[in-house]
Amino acid sequence: MKNRKVVQLETPHTQQMSMDRRARRRVHVRRCERIVAVFLLIFLFLGFQIVRSRQSLAKVNTNIHQTEIQLADQKAKGRELNQQVKQLHDPEYIQQVIRSKYNYSKQGETVYNLDN
C-alpha cells in the first residue's frame, strides 16, 4: 500500500460494495460450476449412448456378415442339388450310379470288385 498513489477509502459504503462484488463473484463462480457440471453430465450421457450404439452396430454388422456367408454356402449347396437333379433325369447317369453303387452289370459283362 505504500507504493500506491491512490488509496481506497474504507468507508461503510465501500466495504458494502466490496462485499457485494465478492458475493456476486461467488454466485457467478457457482453458476459457472453448475453449468459446467450439467454440460459434463450431458456429454457423458451422450458419449455413453454413442459407445453403446457403436457396439450394437458392430454386433449387427458381424451378424450380417455371418448370415451372408451362410447364404452363400446355402446357394452353393442349392446349385449342387440342382445339378444333381438335372443329372438324375439323364438315363446314362442313373445307369452309371446303379452300376457303381450296387454292382449291377449288363448281360455278358463281368464285374470285378477291387474294394477291400
The pLDDT of residue 6: 79
Digit-coded pLDDT (tens) for 94-108: 888 888 888 787 788
Cα 32 versus chain centre, distance: 37
What pLDDT is recorded for position 2? 61
CB atoms within 10 A of CB 87: 13
Residue 43 vs residues 40, 52, 53, 57: alpha-carbon distances, Å: 5, 14, 15, 21
Q: Which tops the pLDDT comparison, 33 or 19?
A: 33
pLDDT given for residue 34 in this prediction: 97
